[in-house]
Amino acid sequence: MRIRNIRVIDPCISRDEISDIFIHDGRIVSEQDYLDLSGDTDDTEIDGTGLIAGPGLVDVHVHFRDPGQTHKEDIHTGSLCALAGGFTSVVMMANTLPPTDSCEAVKGILQRAECEDLHIYTCATVTKGMKGEELCDFASLIDAGAVGFTDDGKPILDESLMAEAFKQASDLGVPISLHEEDPAFISENGVNSGSAASFLGLKGSDRRAEISMIERDLKIAANSNVRLNIQHVSTREGVEAIRRAKATNPNIHAEATPHHFTLTDSAVSIYGTLAKMNPPLREASDREAIWEGLADGTLDIIATDHAPHTLEEKSCDFKNAPSGITGLETSFLLAYSILIKKEIADYSDLFTLMSLNPARLYGLSAGTLQPGAAADIMIFSPDETTDYTSSRSKSANSPFLGKTFEGKIKYTIVNGKIVYSS
């Protein structure tokens, strides 16, 4: 395959230029190697005039609900969502039913994922059964194929257990990703305490739920070499605590989600349960702090927290509805609409946040378009629009359904094969 006359952006080597991309046998090659290997015969050619090519996006925080809740999503439908959003690699969270806390569970997920066009990885849980009481056998789970550990969906409240988990993960050289919400500060989850909760007749989730856990775990991490990822940061105080910690600890990483850098807690009065998520949407000042954190590198990863729930599940009253929204199909479009258009980030920043940095966190072979790399590429048109009228997910729990976005994902290429085109 040859992609002609396209703007190539590769933050790994600070590349931003109009050029051609050459692909042979599933890998990116130099022009000379391409000519030598292919004899100047293009099996496929894409005219990239006016388009942008970057390394395939990498999402290190998705829920494909397999096993246990495949009525919401499964590995195949989740993969279709990812590919349509420009993603070529994803990392599944471990809060499945039952939790992914055994070698058999890890191997089963990876075996079911083999037939998909998407590169699919999985975490295992930090604690057995996600009960926060006993650590899993980290070494065995890594040997089985897990790429990291998380009890995402639940905080780990035992400080000594958290410290031991950090030590073991550090010894193995793998990341731990943490959901930081202390239930002691939450009356009802999914909505920010204050005007948004009051609108619903609830008390909601106090911001201290996140702040206290982030501060505690950053303090514990300071005494270890753990590669720590703070998931879906929602508060300005949380951003600032991470900023201070990163000044002295290069092993700290943190995610921002598209919904947290796009919406505020006022969205619950518009979208109802479609705007219910953990941690909840916060105030405008929190959203601005997330913008600042993305701009200065405090928040160094954009991750979707793609969390499918059926329409029936989301149709009950706010208090009893499940938290979470889908996000894979709209992530890059929201980042373009908010971060690029507001000049919070440029394209190189965006591919760093959505491809290079996530790949580096988990040690994945992704995030670059250099010769020799797998030909995992997303191609984007900034001059077209996308009508997001339906989802490839089994679920439809997105407040952005029905929205017209600026920009369009034109192609997703995995291992040199076009697996999505619009």
If we measure between CA atoms, which residue out of 257, 374, 373 comes closest to residue 324?
Answer: 257
Question: Which residues are catalytic, by number?
Answer: 305
Q: How far apart are CA 213 and CA 277, in angstroms?
A: 18
CA distances from 200 to 47, 159, 189, 272, 345 (A): 51, 34, 12, 9, 35
* Cβ-based neighbours of 13, under 8 Å, separated by 6 or more: 368, 370
* Cβ-based neighbours of 202, under 8 Å, separated by 6 or more: 187, 188, 191, 318, 319
> CA angle, 279 as apex, 277 and 283 as ends, to 5°?
95
If we measure between CA atoms, which residue out of 201, 70, 224, 94 comes closest to residue 148?
Answer: 94
3-state helix, strand, coil in the chain (%, to 5): 35, 25, 40
CA distances from 242 to 37, 163, 209, 320, 355 (A): 48, 18, 15, 32, 21
Q: How far apart are CA 422 and CA 408, in angstroms?
A: 8
Sheet with strand 175-178: strands edge to edge? 149-150, 175-178, 227-230, 252-256, 301-302
Query: Residue type for 107, please?
Result: K
Write out the DSSP string of 173-234: T-EEEE----GGGBSSTTSBTTHHHHHTT---B-THHHHHHHHHHHHHHTTS--EEEE-S--
Rg of the Cα trace of the chain? 21
Torsion of CA 137, 323, 319, 266, to 10 degrees: 140
Alpha carbon 34 to chain centroid distance?
33
Tokens representing 275 are: 């705007």
Q: How far apart are CA 153 and CA 52, in angstroms?
A: 35
* Residue 41 DSSP label: -
